[in-house]
Amino acid sequence: MFWNFWSMELFDNEMQEKGRSILDQMKQDNRLAILLIGRPYHSDPGLNHGVLEEFQVLGYPVLSMRSILKDEA
């Protein structure tokens, strides 16, 4: 069970590092990014009708809630 939690924490850390990198680049370039706020299944193209891909085609990176840093409570 330990490995499951460790793997999930590793994944979350990698996602947050990538998200920070994207946000830093957007700030540097004075560009916008899209933040998807919703349940994990909202990332499914069948449910969101491909709108996330459309944003990416237009040059907007799409970030999920897991890819932004969280404030520690």
Query: Residue 44: pLDDT band by 50, 70, 90 thresholds?
Result: confident
Mind listing the pLDDT tens digit for each residue in 20-36? Answer: 999 999 999 999 999 99
- For 44, counting Cβ atoms within 10 Å of its Cβ (0-12 exposed, 13-18 middle, 19+ buried), the class is exposed
CA distance 13 to 70: 11
Q: List CB contacts of 63: < 8 A, sequence separation 6 or more.
A: 19, 22, 23, 33, 34, 35, 36
CA distance 38 to 41: 8
Is residue 72 scored above 80 in pLDDT? no
What are the residue boundaries of the structural domains of the chain, listed by start?
2-67
* Tokens read off for 45: 């193209």
